[in-house]
Amino acid sequence: MKFYIDGRCFCEKKWAGVARYGIEFVKKLCQQNSNYLIFIVSNKVVKHKDRFPKNVKFIEIVSLRFIPGTFFILFLGFFIMRKSIFIGLSHTVPIRWSGKKYLCIHDFCFTIYPKSMTLVNKIFQRLSLLISLNTTKNLIFVSKYTMELFDLLYPNTSKKYRQQIISNTVSEAFLSKQESFDKKVNRAFDYTSEYILYVGSLEPRKNLNALIESFNKIIDNHDIQLILVGSKRWRISSMYKRLNELNITDRVHIISDVCDQELRLLYSNCSLFVYPSWYEGFGIPPFEAYACNAKAVCSIHSEMKFYADKLGNIWSYNPNKDDLTEIIKHALKSHKSSTKLNLLPKMELPNFENE
């Protein structure tokens, strides 16, 4: 059986959430049947090929790199006409394809929080999703939260699709036994000191200004630092401006070049992990933090809303009405309960041969 997988998400030097979901998907597919022929297809060069299982092949049509990735995937069927399964990891499937197509939907940022995207990105995402929904009946959602949103946003059409959840999951990198790590890294902070941690992209949708305001309110009575881990996106200048206005730049550390090994160390030693986002399609960092035995405050606008009560060590936060400062204070004072790793979301693929 042959699989062609949209590889656009793997072409960035620093993989974002879709790529991290995608690599877990590919690994699970290889584990399901080692005889599957799996091709990662893109019009750009795929990065970090060493992270893929050895039997995965790459089709990089770089001569078409000048074409927007969305259009490349939409018209891919005119270049590749082999009977096979296509997995549209990034909200897009080909218009024409000789086998089954599965459209993977991660989120609805362009509808729920459109100001987090450029105008061009909003147009491309709306267009590709609209076209793709008209060319396939097979939908994959990365979370229960996203599937429920789909039913609300498309109430008159959702029933005509074959919907399934293939959940995002915590990577083995955060579940395996802690390895030794060289702490002699070029950082302006000490892992042994107290700190609040955030992990994710730096953009308005993540509601980081609320976290900064809350942090500023507690530092007078608490010797603690704030560490923000993530790549910078657009419209983040207001965050830096506010940090300067509050004169707390010496207490706030922003880093981006973090490997999974160091990230696990950051999770494991933080006093509290905080994820105050306005909206997430899934939101994997709080689950990673929990897997590393960290306490966490997490927005209810994410998949964590279905897990917080049963996991423990998680405090829910509604950015529309809750006082984040008080929740953080309460969480910092609270004792940790034992983690329940068996309750974390797991990625389970269907048997595509029987689909």
The phi, psi pair for 179, rounded to 5°, reads -95, 165
CA distance 89 to 273: 28
pLDDT in tens, 234-283: 778 889 999 999 999 999 999 988 888 889 989 999 999 999 999 999 99
**Is-contact 211 202, C-beta < 8 A?**
no
pLDDT in tens, 269-290: 999 999 999 999 999 999 999 9
- Contacts of residue 322, Cβ cutoff 8 Å, sequence gap at least 6: none
C-alpha torsion angle, residues 286, 291, 292, 295 (rounded to 10): 50
**Whole-Å CA distances, 246 to 3, 13, 215, 329:** 52, 33, 11, 20
CB atoms within 10 A of CB 178: 12
In the chain, what are the domains?
Answer: 2-166 (3.40.50.2000), 173-342 (3.40.50.2000)
Instruction: Tell whether the model's pLDDT for residue 10 goes beyond 50.
Output: yes
Helix (H) or strand (E) holding 228: strand 225-229
Instruction: Tell whether the model's pLDDT for residue 180 goes beyond 80.
Output: no
Residues 49-54: contacts with CB under 8 Å, at least 24 apart: 51/23, 52/23, 52/26, 53/26, 53/27
- pLDDT at position 218, please? 95
Instruction: Tell whether the model's pLDDT for residue 149 goes beyond 70.
Output: yes
In the numeric block, which tokens belong to residue 90? 């990034």
- Stretch 182-208: mean pLDDT, rounded? 78
